[in-house]
Structure 1
Amino acid sequence: MPHSASFPPAPVPPPPVPPPPLTGRGDRPALAILLMCLVSLIFSVQDAVSRYLGAHYPPVLIVMLRYWFFALFVIVLAARHPGGLRAALRPRHPWLQIARGLLLVFEIVVMLFAFVNLGLVESHAVFIAHPLIIVALSGPVLGERVGWRRWAAVGVGFLGILIILQPGVRVFSPWAALPLLSALMFAVYVLMTRMVSAGDGANVSLFWTGIAGAAGITVVGIGQIQALAPADWLPMAVLCVTGFVGHYLLIRAYSLAEASSLQPYSYTQLIWVSLIGLLFLGETVGLNVILGMVIIAAAGLFTWWRERQVKLQAPAG
């Protein structure tokens, strides 16, 4: 799942981890935007494959196998970074790094359960509220000032969630709470990432995202290990490769343009997810889901725009 904060991974939902900025390369915003849209497509395919495999195997097993591959990716990446593995293994906030890595991997498990039981499109329609949850929590957790305009956008976004879930209008499915829980978990992960970023670089945080997550999911999932059917090895390989390629292209995109300028383009994942769900997974989307999705996305884009305005108006120095 890509995502919209300084340190965005995810799997399942929008990218969960921010990339380390690469220096020595000039800004190329057009290419960065193209890469961000491509990353959104790749992660949408990843989510669809996750949904397929999660319907046939325990979701914890699927996430565990995926994270083993992801752990290899972050180890190789850390080894190539200045300071190598020695620097990555010595974070300034070790316990917080471990906690955020564990939180993210189990957020992915929750979201996979939502994909299987609620559907890809409806799960993403609710999950895209996570930037608004980040805004709502940034005040009490980080002490950041949130103005009334952004609070109003948060309120409008949650109105969109109510339109999608329709409490009191239809029989409420307990599965409908999963993408909202996943969005909350991801929002807390992002806030924890902001907290560690003061002392640890992006490469260190990315390393611990993969290592702590792989260790945690292995403890839980090793008892559910089973052989995949021969026909499912290809989808599993696609899941692992899309994770690697998606994260690599995400790193390239953030090396070519500022993270804040690319955030709006992460919403293109809604388009890809909707097309995949409708055309290939046989999902149906009600008018309430479309309306709620548009409201939440609009509220999220407004909070992004307002945050940029506040930064532009802030006195220099």
Structure 2
Amino acid sequence: MTPATRAILWMILSCAAFAALWTCIRIASADLHPFAIVVARNLFGLMWLTPMLLANPGLLRRDRLPIHLRRAASGVIATFATFYAVAHLPLSTALAINYTAPLFATIGAVFFLGERIAWRRMAALAVGFTGMLIVLHPGTTPFSAGLLAALVSALTTAFSIIAIKKLVGADDARAVAAWSFVLTLGPSLVIAAPFASVPPAHVWPILVLLGGCAALGQYALAQAFRHAEASAIMPYDFVRFGLITVAGIALFGEAVDARTLIGGAVIVSATIYLAIRESVVARSLKPSASPDT
């Protein structure tokens, strides 16, 4: 099996795990506050990863801790915002807005990493944000706490993406996944404390499964990026959009309008183009070469 094939399979597995995760969030939110579900995500996700950490005692390197801390800081906010959005919005709408995170990350890379942005990438950004406007349809869609949470989730996820860019090639993919649980468990306990409650008996298996899906999704995604460039695997992220949309329709009776589907497709297409363009530029740039034009 070639590295590209392995990367695609890992990406599809990640999509399936995250789709199952969002489904578990929606089910558990009927009995628990979304913030309490975040704690379960971090606690049980870390539990699933513990055997791997025990088998590899030197996996969590402290020399990369500052970057992991920056990623965790944005990741805590992103996780709380995402879980709240999933609990209060149609799944397809929450996902479409979540897909704008790489667009925000591209803008953030200009300010925080000193990257240059040329007209092709600017055009892709414009297309992507047009897709978000199609989904939100300002003036007709009531603005809610769920929509605000989805936007906050996209923005803070963008900062996590920027941090991950610095980690790629410098740390083990398994460590990247594990740190996201180790460093966020404590803060999530503090933030969610006012919303804590004892889950009913029938919710516990869902929470354990939820943690497993989160751990598997993070691990599979890290492995996918380990075996191939983003441009090669991002197109397969459409699988996540399809699975989550079908779950919303089949399990929760959600009505998905054409506006959400079209806007989501536009956003994902722009994100894929950005990934491909960044890959092309990275391969073509040489010490004497000029940046993307």
Pairwise same-fold verdict (TM > 0.5): yes
Over the aligned positions, Cα root-mean-square deviation in angstroms equals 2.5
> In 2, Cα distance between the equivalents of 1:200 and 1:248?
13
> In 2, Cα distance between the equivalents of 1:271 and 1:134?
23
Equivalent position amino acid for 2:262 in 1: L
> In 1, Cα distance between the equivalents of 2:217 and 2:172?
20
> In 2, Cα distance between the equivalents of 1:51 and 1:121?
12
Equivalent position amino acid for 2:35 in 1: V
Q: Out of 22, 38, 45, which is 1:70 matched to?
A: 45
1:199 Cα offset (Å): 6.3
Equivalent position amino acid for 1:265 in 2: Y
| CA pair 202-282 structure 1, distance change in 2 beyond 3 A | same
> What is the aligned residue count?
288
Residues 153-192 of structure 1, C-alpha deviations (whole Å, 9 max, x = no match): 1011111111111112343334222212101000011213
Report what 1:192 is aligned to.
Answer: 163
Query: Greater share of helix residues, 1 or 2?
Result: 2
Q: Is the 8 A contact 2:173 2:219 kept in 1?
A: no
Q: Is the 8 A contact 1:98 1:212 kept in 2?
A: yes
> In 2, Cα distance between the equivalents of 1:54 and 1:257?
36
Q: Out of 4, 14, 24, which is 1:39 matched to?
A: 14
> In 1, Cα distance between the equivalents of 2:78 and 2:161?
12
1:111 Cα offset (Å): 1.0
What runs of 5+ residues in structure 1 fail to find an aligned partner?
1-25
Q: Is the 8 A contact 1:150 1:306 kept in 2?
A: yes
Report what 2:265 is aligned to.
Answer: 294
Equivalent position amino acid for 1:53 in 2: A
> In 1, Cα distance between the equivalents of 2:222 and 2:121?
29
Runs of 4 or more off by more than 6 Å in structure 1? none
Report what 1:91 is aligned to.
Answer: 63
**TM-score computed with the length of structure 1 as normaliser:** 0.81
**TM-score computed with the length of structure 2 as normaliser:** 0.87
Report what 1:17 is aligned to.
Answer: none
1:27 Cα offset (Å): 3.4
1:275 Cα offset (Å): 0.8
Report the secondary structure of 2:63's partner residue. Answer: coil
Residues 224-243 of structure 1, C-alpha deviations (whole Å, 9 max, x = no match): 43322122122222212222
> In 1, Cα distance between the equivalents of 2:113 and 2:8?
30
Report what 1:7 is aligned to.
Answer: none
> In 2, Cα distance between the equivalents of 1:61 and 1:92?
29
Q: Out of 136, 142, 147, which is 2:107 matched to?
A: 136
1:93 Cα offset (Å): 4.4
